[in-house]
Structure 1
Amino acid sequence: MKPTVVIGGGIVGLFTAYFLHKEGTEVIVVDKGDMKVNCSTGNAGMIVPSHIIPLASPGMISKGISWMLSSKSPFYIQPRLDKRLIDWCLLFYRNSNAKHVQKSIPYLKGISLFSKQLYLDFVKAHGNDNIRLQDKGLLMLYKTAEGEREEAEFCHVAQESGLEAEILTIGDIEKLEPNQRVDARGGIYFPEDAHLSPKDLYIQLKQYLFDQGVILKPGVSIEGFEKGVDNVNAVITNEGKIDCDQVMVCAGSWSDQIAKMLGFRLPMMGGKGYSFELPNTPPLMQASILTEARVSQSPYGNKVRFGGTMEISNKSEEINLNRVRGIYESIKAYYPDFKADFPQESQIWKGMRPCSPDGLPYIGKAPKWKNVAFGAGHSMMGLSLAPATGKILADLSKGKEGIVPLKGFAVDRYA
């Protein structure tokens, strides 16, 4: 029996390999990077069933225009003559409407709750000492009247969709953060959310797969495919040909290039984000999103990770310190007594998050090919949705229908 090849060794690819292995499938994971530092290790580690509103939504257009004027803003599109970028921006604009949001909510809610349960199952099976999953909710803090109005509307939408959500006063917030003075007007609390240590999860999962005999091949780039009439028979790499039974493409922001090799269109742009860890002093206790700044903070004992920004850019290796400074300045704005020094450049993580133009991932069978499936385009929710995506792809490989509706994630929706 030929192996299944998983293209992409990020957290989505590793969870796909994990569930394929559980089905008794021989798996080879290939990745063009080193499988050490990537979007899976430097993110906020949030598991967020509350995130039912896609990135492409009405407010993003109006906010995005004003944000474009500031080098420290949460959202930025690097202007350039690039057909891929122009096409992506046009699709993003067309999807940024209320109808799209309403259609997207059931899909995002279904897969997010499924993924959260799979995380709880994973912890039960493998322990929690390393990854430190903290099932204690997420707090959305706001400072302004406009922020209060927007978050109250979001709270109502979440409740109408069947999610737990509650509006908190500053007094309620102080009970969740007894060690810190919080400068906020109020907040929304989502008790079903959680967070964990993304780097430790990645290390543990990679080691588990290695111990189970899953072949992990870093530094391998895809050069093409050996194709039959409607099947891919082999993956052609810089290290030679790999005969395969099936192919699972979980290549993050590079997945559109793989799709092009397979003869169809998969609009995708890389959205660069930044994060850094600081000593947690005085200790923050509650994972939170600082809504006006679009900055996340996730505490892990004596360390806390701050992250944010969405920079649609083709300069993946550069660090824009002004954007990092925007994250840093938000810390004092919300936590005036938090002791924070601006991080050294060597302490700053950067990564290209794979963004579809409608804010929904691509999950499912690829057009034209019977034995190829994709799990990509998760934007800022790659870690949150990784177990569900992996389980869905493993089930599809065996011809099983899962419990999560997939129509909204169709891989061929722009093909």
Structure 2
Amino acid sequence: MSKAIIIGGGVIGLFSAYYLHKSGWEVDILEQGDLADNCSYGNLGMVTPSHFVPLASPGIIEQGIRWMFDSKSPFYVKPSLSKDLIGWGLKFMKSATKKHVERSAGGLADISLFSKSLYHEFEKESGIDFGLQDKGILMLFKSPHVEEEEIHMAEKAATLGLDAQYLSPAETRKLQPDIELDILGSVHYRCDSHMSPNKLMAGLIKYLETAGVKIHRNTEVLKINQNGGKVTSVSTKDKEYTGDTYLIAGGSWSPAIAKMVGLNVPLMPGKGYSFMVNDPAKPMTVPSILCEARVAITPMNDGIRFGGTMEIGKINKQVNMNRVKGIVESVPKYFPDFKLPLPAQKDVWFGFRPCSPDGLPYIGLTGKYKNLAIATGHAMIGLGLGPATGKLIADAFNGEKPAIEASLFAADRYQ
């Protein structure tokens, strides 16, 4: 039996373990934390074929510069003389073109649709109830300019085979009958789904460990040993782990891990915030994204999760309550019934989304080492792409044709 060593126990590492184990591999996962609260837990639980436009797109740079002067803004790049940030920023600007968006759209839609289908298979095979629902997502807008943009996006979505429908305010209210809405209209992406990430992660971890996958918590990789174009082992403080193949799936920590073997994986952490409102006075039925505010809202576990912001900078544990305040203040502009109190800092979750400079994930084997793969850089859609990424990694390690075309996501495209 072949053995795989996976560095990183987030949703990408766990689903890679799931598909490798399913195809007959012995798997060890090395996780630097305790698996209690990584980036896979606090997100909005969305599976979004609708998100076919990468973060690196025309207009985001100009808009980002304006937002830099607003402490409550949804997107912020913390100024720094960091070599990594400057290099990432230059690559980001180079990628933020119409041509790049056109080139990326089909691939992003395809991998999301594939991942959604795998989620339904996984739900049946595992028996885990993680609240998967196919109610779609509402893109809510308030301004004519954004309405025009969203209608254009819905038309583009249709050409990609996605189910998207423009709705008037009255038609939107039929989907959220218990909540007052103050909007110009919406686009309902019926192709999207949502779930409870907390239930998914807990269930997936238990399932894997019961199946025999070994998860080593609080186990930080300090060195990756290699010889003759192959990785031979990885070293931690107390032990050396040896396998036939190796996967770097460390989220925002992946660049530092990859540097251990001389690989360049341009990536910056994008800090996001979320918080829960339990037992809300008005129930929500369909997840929503507030377009102008860049805030996402998901009904979850008899409550509602609110989240947003993208703060590009070094990994840190500071909670910027002004950014949380920006989320809180934006919600009543769309949902007048929701007069949210500012949550206590202790109740605010934050995590670091791994953002590549072209807005596309890294998935696949590296050219330099024939038994080493990388799976990271999924930014805001990591949870949604977990199963598809895991299946593509298993296909690569098994020497099989990838289940979908994945050349866009080449792991060493920046080498």
Q: TM-score, length-normalised on structure 1? A: 0.98
* Alignment map for 1:16-415 (pairs within 5 Å): 16-127=16-127, 130-279=129-278, 280-415=280-415
- Partners of 1:226 and 1:2 in 2: CA distance: 19
The answer to whether the Cα contact below 8 Å between 2:44 and 2:307 also exists between their aligned partners in 1 is yes
The answer to whether the Cα contact below 8 Å between 1:362 and 1:377 also exists between their aligned partners in 2 is yes
The answer to whether the Cα contact below 8 Å between 1:356 and 1:377 also exists between their aligned partners in 2 is yes
What runs of 5+ residues in structure 1 fail to find an aligned partner? none
Change (3 A) 1:2 1:191: closer
Aligned-residue sequence identity (percent) comes to 46
Q: What is the letter of the counterpart of residue 32 of structure 1?
A: Q
Query: Aligned residue pairs: how many?
Result: 414
The answer to whether the Cα contact below 8 Å between 1:7 and 1:248 also exists between their aligned partners in 2 is yes
3-state secondary structure, aligned to 1:383: coil
Q: What is the letter of the counterpart of residue 298 of structure 1?
A: T
- Partners of 1:340 and 1:408 in 2: CA distance: 41
Q: What is the letter of the counterpart of residue 95 of structure 1?
A: S
3-state secondary structure, aligned to 2:383: helix
The answer to whether the Cα contact below 8 Å between 1:281 and 1:339 also exists between their aligned partners in 2 is no
1:116-160 CA-partner distances (Å, limit 9, x unpaired) = 0000111122235x3111111010000111111111111111112
3-state secondary structure, aligned to 2:51: coil
The answer to whether the Cα contact below 8 Å between 1:195 and 1:287 also exists between their aligned partners in 2 is yes
Change (3 A) 1:6 1:301: closer
- Partners of 2:168 and 2:192 in 1: CA distance: 19
Residue 293 of structure 1 deviates from its aligned partner by 0.6
Hey, which bits of structure 1, 4+ residues long, moved more than 3 A?
none
Residue 204 of structure 1 deviates from its aligned partner by 0.2
3-state secondary structure, aligned to 2:59: helix
Q: What is the letter of the counterpart of residue 74 of structure 2?
A: P
- Partners of 2:372 and 2:131 in 1: CA distance: 34
1:371-410 CA-partner distances (Å, limit 9, x unpaired) = 1111100000000100000011011111011221111101
- Partners of 2:207 and 2:367 in 1: CA distance: 32
3-state secondary structure, aligned to 2:270: strand
- Partners of 2:133 and 2:106 in 1: CA distance: 25
The answer to whether the Cα contact below 8 Å between 1:366 and 1:411 also exists between their aligned partners in 2 is yes
- Partners of 1:403 and 1:25 in 2: CA distance: 18
Residue 301 of structure 1 deviates from its aligned partner by 4.9
- Partners of 2:114 and 2:15 in 1: CA distance: 14
Q: What is the letter of the counterpart of residue 36 of structure 2?
A: K
More off after superposition, 386-395 vs 251-260: 251-260
Residue 221 of structure 1 deviates from its aligned partner by 1.2
Residue 192 of structure 1 deviates from its aligned partner by 1.0
The answer to whether the Cα contact below 8 Å between 2:196 and 2:301 also exists between their aligned partners in 1 is no
Q: What is the letter of the counterpart of residue 232 of structure 2?
A: N
- Partners of 1:374 and 1:90 in 2: CA distance: 22
- Partners of 1:404 and 1:326 in 2: CA distance: 39
- Partners of 1:301 and 1:373 in 2: CA distance: 35
The answer to whether the Cα contact below 8 Å between 2:391 and 2:403 also exists between their aligned partners in 1 is no
The answer to whether the Cα contact below 8 Å between 1:296 and 1:307 also exists between their aligned partners in 2 is yes
Q: What is the letter of the counterpart of residue 238 of structure 1?
A: K
- Partners of 1:270 and 1:393 in 2: CA distance: 23
- Partners of 2:72 and 2:99 in 1: CA distance: 31
The answer to whether the Cα contact below 8 Å between 1:316 and 1:351 also exists between their aligned partners in 2 is no
1:207-259 CA-partner distances (Å, limit 9, x unpaired) = 00111111101111111122120111111112221111110111101111122
Residue 269 of structure 1 deviates from its aligned partner by 0.4
Residue 339 of structure 1 deviates from its aligned partner by 4.5
Q: What is the letter of the counterpart of residue 234 of structure 1?
A: S
- Partners of 1:153 and 1:239 in 2: CA distance: 55
- Partners of 1:269 and 1:126 in 2: CA distance: 34
3-state secondary structure, aligned to 1:54: coil
What runs of 5+ residues in structure 2 fail to find an aligned partner? none
Residue 315 of structure 1 deviates from its aligned partner by 4.3
- Partners of 1:117 and 1:197 in 2: CA distance: 17
What RMSD, in angstroms, separates the aligned Cα atoms of the two structures? 1.1
The answer to whether the Cα contact below 8 Å between 1:282 and 1:339 also exists between their aligned partners in 2 is no
Residue 2 of structure 1 deviates from its aligned partner by 5.7
- Partners of 2:236 and 2:3 in 1: CA distance: 15
Residue 302 of structure 1 deviates from its aligned partner by 2.4
Q: TM-score, length-normalised on structure 2? A: 0.98
